[in-house]
Amino acid sequence: MVLHNSDTFLVQYRQLIEASLDWGDSSAWTNEDFENLSEKIEEKTNVRLSVSTLKRIWGRVQYNSSPTAATLNALAKFLEYENWRAFQQKQKVCEAPVEIEKVVTIPEIPVQIEKPIKIKQGKKLLVAAVLGFVLIISLSLITIFKSAKKKCGRKRSLRFLRQQKNIRRSAKFGGV
């Protein structure tokens, strides 16, 4: 991947600086952090970059123009590059796609294919089995309830008959 956009190199540069400084994510950097970075750059390169310039490079201040060549060169020197062009070339080399051509031969493995399971037929059988089961359970429950109802009805009628019989006996013997 050959990089052409200057902003792409600035993004890579910022990532390298953040990793080397180990100050955490630059979105949380304070004004003091940018002042410290400015001092570190000046100590190493003898070029003083203002805090506002560094903030523009890190996208913390809106600025529509690109950084000057002198600013970019100072940034590159801080990371031990001769100049900004050398930094870009190194990034191009690091990011260049590497084409590797390797032929891999995969041995053929004989595979026996058995009859595929017919899912539709299996589903039909399952549905029929479930419906049959539900039907059997339903009929069983109906039979049980009917017989229970008959038993309850018989008990009532037997009780009624006994009461009637008792009434008649008592009437015979002078009861009621």
CA distance linking residue 32 with residue 78, whole number of Å: 19
Same-domain check for residues 79 and 137:
no
Q: Residue 4: its pLDDT value, please?
A: 41
Residue 111 maps to a domain: no
Q: Does pTM surpass 0.95? A: no
Q: pLDDT tens digits, residue range 82-107?
A: 998 998 888 875 554 444 455 556 66
Residue 107 maps to a domain: no
Residue 105 maps to a domain: no
Residue 106 maps to a domain: no
Overall number of domains in the chain:
2
Q: pLDDT tens digits, residue range 25-70?
A: 888 999 999 999 999 999 999 999 999 999 999 888 887 888 899 9
- Is 109 a residue whose pLDDT tops 70? no
Same-domain check for residues 55 and 126:
no
